């Protein structure tokens, strides 16, 4: 959607005022007003979102840095389920000095209610080791209420990452996927203190504009926290021109509705293209997704049978064991070597598929594949990958 947005923005006039500091470091009045209307219309909040409940910064990275600074002291922990976006580590740790604490599923459904137990286990372990957990960062899940109860039980903050809220798509293969529900749409009465709930959003994903650097924090019931973050927002001041572009886009509902519909259509086509390819090449992936730009694909079988270790073989084990129906896969030195080998072969074949190692994957051999590119570009990449898979299968089969 880059061409469509560039064409749209090129029609806007840049006034002299946009070359100034504007309204200040935490979002112009016009943008916060446009954002509040957008959230009220599209996110179905229980209570209307007001402009004064928003803080705008130069990207969601800056928002995460700010809220970490606000809710955690140096050395405190933030829980996030694996796999997770690689930049979370820098966002949480670099300036605020807090600690990213990845949470392993260990074979449990990462979107199911049983996963709450994994968060609780990790929280108790961390606190026993001296790390105070202050918050969780979680994408939309159908067990959202269970996580809110968990946060209330341990008096921690619930930070909802909703950057893909409007990047929803539907295909015959994911028709049963759980629809997006914003944390704003949940009545928190009896679940969690409302001042512990915060939402992250930005331009990068739904608006295909990660180069414009704009993110927003919604905190409806915690004015002291917002005031604290505003006091240091000067370090993440969004540009006046970016604020103007986003404001104009949010207020143009006919264009916005057309844009979201076309974006959804293209995402569905890309998802179908990629998953058809994976199915044809007998590559498994985590099915049922209906939002975002990627699939989580399982290439472990291409690393060779010698990466599988038995329960009683601990010689090469250096991480967590993950239960599977027929055997136990572990993160072993051999698996890492083979994973690095496979990734290097992809690079040499001019194919870049992001290794799960960059996303705190529990096991080697998992990869994140993006399908949110033009169809002809995706086709070229998949053809290159097809040739590589044939080569690797022949080599692994001969081992």
Tokens for 167?
Answer: 């990047």
Please count the CA atoms within 13 angstroms of the CA of 261 that sit on its side-chain side. 6
In order of 31, 58, 226, 251, 285, the CA distances from 241 in angstroms are 11, 12, 24, 15, 40
Q: Lowest mean pLDDT: which of 100-109, 206-215, 331-340?
A: 331-340
CA distances from 231 to 217, 225, 226, 271 (A): 15, 10, 9, 43
Is the CB of residue 97 less than 8 Å from the CB of residue 123? Answer: no
Which pair of tokens denotes residue 118? 């994994």
Instruction: State yes or no: pLDDT of 184 exceeds 50.
Output: yes
Helix/strand/coil for 205: coil
Lowest-confidence segment of 97-101, 292-296, 322-326, 379-383 by average pLDDT: 322-326
Q: Is 42 left (phi over 0), alpha (psi -120 to 50) or beta?
A: alpha
Instruction: Report the alpha-carbon distance of residue 253 to residue 310 in Å, rounded.
Output: 58
Distance CA 99, CA 126 (A): 11
Q: Is the pLDDT of residue 325 over 50?
A: no
Each residue of 186-209: pLDDT tens digit? 999 999 999 999 999 999 999 999
Q: How far apart are CA 122 and CA 49, in angstroms?
A: 33
Integer Rg of the chain from CA: 22
* % of residues, the chain, pLDDT over 70: 92
Report whether pLDDT(353) > 70.
yes
| Residue 387: alpha-carbon gap to chain centroid | 30
Please say if the pLDDT value at position 398 is more than 70. Answer: no
Identify the DSSP state of 91: H
Contact 360, 83 (CB under 8 A): yes
Mean pLDDT of the region 366-377: 96
Cα 300 from Cα 335, distance rounded (Å): 9
Q: By the 8 A CB rule, do 347 and 246 touch?
A: no
CB-CB contact of 268 with 169 (8 Å): yes
Mean pLDDT of 290-295: 94
């Amino acid at each position: 959607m880059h061409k469509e947005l560039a064409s749209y923005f090129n029609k806007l006039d840049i006034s002299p005022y946009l070359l100034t500091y504007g309204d200040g470091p935490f979002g112009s009045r016009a943008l916060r007003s446009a954002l509040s209307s957008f959230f009220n219309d599209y996110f179905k909040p229980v209570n209307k979102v007001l402009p004064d409940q928003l803080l705008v910064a130069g990207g969601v990275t800056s928002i995460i840095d700010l809220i970490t600074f606000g809710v955690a002291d140096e050395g405190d922990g933030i829980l996030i389920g694996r796999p997770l976006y690689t930049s979370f580590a820098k966002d949480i740790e670099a300036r605020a000095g807090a600690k990213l604490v990845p949470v392993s599923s260990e074979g449990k459904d990462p979107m199911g209610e049983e996963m709450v137990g994994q968060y609780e286990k990790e929280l108790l372990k961390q606190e026993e080791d001296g790390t105070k957990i202050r918050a969780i960062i979680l994408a939309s899940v159908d067990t959202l209420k269970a996580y809110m109860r968990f946060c209330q039980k341990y008096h921690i903050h619930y930070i909802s990452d909703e950057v893909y809220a409007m990047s929803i798509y539907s295909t015959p293969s994911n028709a049963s996927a759980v629809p997006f529900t914003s944390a704003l749409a949940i009545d928190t009465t009896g679940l969690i203190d409302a001042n512990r709930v915060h939402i992250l959003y930005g331009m990068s994903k739904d608006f295909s504009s990660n180069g414009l650097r704009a993110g927003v924090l919604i905190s409806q019931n915690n004015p002291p926290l917002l005031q604290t973050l505003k006091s240091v927002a000067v370090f993440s001041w969004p540009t006046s021109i970016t604020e103007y572009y986003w404001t104009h886009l949010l207020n143009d509902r006919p264009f916005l509705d057309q844009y979201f519909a076309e974006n959804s259509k293209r995402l569905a086509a890309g998802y179908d293209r990629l998953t058809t390819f994976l199915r044809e090449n007998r590559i498994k992936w985590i099915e049922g997704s209906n939002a975002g730009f990627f699939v989580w694909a399982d290439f472990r079988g291409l690393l060779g049978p010698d990466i599988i270790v038995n329960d009683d073989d601990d010689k090469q084990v250096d991480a967590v064991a993950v239960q599977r129906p027929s055997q136990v896969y572990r993160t072993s030195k051999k698996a890492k070597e083979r994973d690095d080998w496979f990734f290097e072969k992809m690079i040499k074949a001019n194919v870049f598929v992001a290794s799960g190692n960059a996303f705190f994957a529990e096991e080697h051999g998992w990869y994140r594949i993006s399908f949110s590119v033009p169809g002809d570009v995706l086709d070229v990449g998949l053809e290159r990958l097809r040739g590589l898979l044939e080569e690797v299968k022949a080599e692994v089969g001969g081992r």
